Amino acid sequence: MSGFDGRVALITGGAHGQGREHAVQFAKAGADVVLVDVPEKVASVPYPLGTPEELHETAALVEEHGRRALAIEADVRRMDQMNAAVARAVDEFGAVDIVVANAGIVTYRPLSDMDDQMWQDTIDVNLTGVANTVRAVLAHMLERRYGRIVVTSSQAGRRGVPNLAHYSASKWGLIGLVKTVALEVAPALGITCNAVLPGAVDTPMMHHDEVYAVFAPDVPSPSLADLEERLGQLNPMPITWLEPSDISHAVLHLASEEARYVSGATIDVAAAFNANNP
């Protein structure tokens, strides 16, 4: 992996989970990191999202690697907040070279039972929030004729998954967004736009009762152990979880100099779960 010395990476959803690991890996590779997280309440989400304390913990982890960190409390649903976050990053760190649009939520319900709030929250965060993040940096990247845009989609962006119509639609939509942006920025030569599509990753998003019940519906009061047993059966490579660092390595590759002509691509990191995708 090439170094990222002198580069600035802005990561949404950086307080915990995959976003935190991406931040640490970029810092290890030499980048300064701007962290965006701590949204306003997302009404339909039943598990804890990132807190100010976690956001500052991630910043401290970046600084432990000798890099600068900027922690910004902002909500990707708010275009004004994302514009302000990018403006502050450019003001304080001089540029944004890399953006990782990673913030996302997941909830579970068959479409027939889904209320307006659950549908709208998912589209607002996972689809509009990513579009806002990319829109907030695009003019800056086009002006500099340099940029690496990495968007976090999902295996649910490539196949239907019961209980996830809203999530699947949002993550599928991101692939359309990524491919379109890749074409729009291609003439600038130095800008790429790609997506990573993780399988099940061991993060706070996956550690709560609703997830256990969805994956093990036949078990009364299912636990983490039941979820892990089912994930082990789902993955063709015999693992339970991907680790956040498995996703970070793909993200860093897409952000590297070596990947300068990789654009409009979707990179599966899913232990061959993706191999059955249509």
Ligand X SMILES: NC(=O)c1ccc[n+]([C@@H]2O[C@H](COP(=O)([O-])OP(=O)(O)OC[C@H]3O[C@@H](n4cnc5c(N)ncnc54)[C@H](O)[C@@H]3O)[C@@H](O)[C@H]2O)c1
Please list the active-site residues.
167
Q: Select 94 or 236, whichever has its Cβ closest to ligand X.
A: 236
Backbone phi, then psi, for 235, in 5-degree steps? Answer: -80, 120
Q: Is 269 in the site for ligand X (CB under 6 A)?
A: no
Q: Is 173 in the site for ligand X (CB under 6 A)?
A: no
Residue count at the site for ligand X (CB under 6 A)?
31
Q: Is 103 in the site for ligand X (CB under 6 A)?
A: yes
Integer Cα distance of 242 and 246 in angstroms: 6
Instruction: Choose one: 10-18, 136-144, 178-186, 220-228; the region binding ligand X (CB under 6 A).
Output: 10-18
Q: Is 122 in the site for ligand X (CB under 6 A)?
A: no
Q: Is 15 in the site for ligand X (CB under 6 A)?
A: yes
Quick check: 245 and 1 in contact, CB under 8 A? no
Backbone phi, then psi, for 101, in 5-degree steps? Answer: -85, 85
Minimum Å distance from CB 161 to ligand X? 11
Q: Is 195 in the site for ligand X (CB under 6 A)?
A: no
Of the residues 7, 10, 11, 12, which one makes contact with ligand X according to CB under 6 A = 12
Closest to 151 (Cα-Cα) out of 47, 255, 75, 38: 255
Minimum Å distance from CB 91 to ligand X? 20
Integer Cα distance of 76 and 85 in angstroms: 10
Minimum Å distance from CB 188 to ligand X? 26
Q: Is 131 in the site for ligand X (CB under 6 A)?
A: no
Residues 39-78 that bind ligand X (CB under 6 A): 39, 42, 49-50, 75-77
Integer Cα distance of 142 and 196 in angstroms: 22
Closest to 102 (Cα-Cα) out of 191, 26, 3: 26
Integer Cα distance of 8 and 77 in angstroms: 22
C-beta neighbour count of 99 within 10 angstroms:
30
Q: How many residues does the chain have?
A: 278
Residues 148-167 that bind ligand X (CB under 6 A): 152, 154
Specify the pairing of strand 32-37 against strand 98-101.
unpaired
Residues of this chain that interact with ligand X (CB under 6 A) are 12-13, 15-19, 37, 39, 42, 49-50, 75-77, 102-106, 125, 129, 152, 154, 198, 200-201, 203-206
